[in-house]
């Protein structure tokens, strides 16, 4: 999500070679060329920010866009010029919106998977000793007897893949 200026600084910091803004721009453009769906997602997120004033995660949870940023977008600031303070505000809000949709959707899918799995196992005594221990990003840590571990893993996998139907 970084623009060419920030990307050049990041690449230069972690390398003995200095990366110019132009090199970073070329790298960024080649990345988006290799993954055109990602560029479409970035652009679509910006359009939703502009049109609705919010972005939506997979189950409908919303992140409302800062009203000051919406005003800046209305007057043509798209976040492309990093030497412009207003553009940096727009760019930061755009990155936050992109991350919100991805991270919130991931969390929502995980919670739905847990809920659906839990509902399923409540009616079967074989699962009496199954316990959720923790979640780490997009993983569930479950404690269960070894003899049913594969069955538990299979059911969890099923619910993680089928809790929501994606377009």
Q: Name the least confident of 29-43, 62-76, 137-151.
A: 62-76
Mean pLDDT is lowest, of 14-28, 72-86, 113-127, for 72-86
DSSP letter, residue 124: -
In this prediction, residue 161 carries a pLDDT of: 93
- Of the ranges 72-76, 113-117, 120-124, 151-155, which one carries the lowest mean pLDDT score? 72-76
pLDDT digits (tens, 9 = 90+) for 60-104: 999 999 888 888 888 777 766 666 788 888 888 899 999 999 999
Distance CA(3)–CA(140), nearest Å, equals 34
Question: 150 vs 82, which has greater pLDDT?
Answer: 150
Query: How large is the average pLDDT for residues 133-149?
Result: 92
pLDDT of residue 16 exceeding 80: no
| Residue 119, pLDDT score | 94
Task: Provide mean pLDDT across the span 102-126.
Answer: 92
Average pLDDT over residues 11-15: 77
Per-residue model confidence (pLDDT) at position 6? 81
- Pairing of the two strands 54-56 and 139-143: unpaired
Tell me the two tokens of residue 146: 């070894």
- Looking at residue 57, what is its pLDDT? 94
Place of tokens 């919010």: 54
Return all residues near 78 (Cβ < 8 A) that are at least 6 apart.
46, 87, 90
Mean pLDDT taken over the chain = 88
How far apart (Å, rounded) are the C-alpha atoms in residues 81 and 122? Answer: 55
């Amino acid at each position: 999500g970084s623009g060419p200026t920030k990307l050049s600084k990041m690449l230069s910091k972690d390398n003995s070679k200095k990366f110019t803004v132009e090199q970073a721009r070329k790298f960024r453009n080649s990345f988006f060329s290799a993954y055109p769906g990602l560029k479409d997602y970035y652009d679509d997120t910006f359009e939703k920010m502009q049109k609705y004033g919010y972005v939506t995660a997979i189950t409908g949870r919303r992140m409302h866009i800062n009203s000051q940023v919406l005003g800046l977008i209305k007057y043509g600031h798209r976040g492309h010029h990093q030497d412009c303070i207003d553009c940096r505000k727009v760019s930061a809000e755009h990155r936050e919106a992109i991350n919100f949709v991805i991270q919130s959707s991931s969390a929502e899918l995980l919670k739905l998977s847990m809920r659906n799995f839990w509902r399923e196992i409540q009616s079967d005594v074989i699962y009496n000793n199954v316990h959720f221990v923790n979640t780490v990003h997009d993983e569930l840590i479950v404690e269960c007897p070894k003899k049913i571990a594969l069955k538990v893993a299979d059911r969890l996998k099923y619910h993680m893949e089928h809790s929501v139907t994606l377009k």
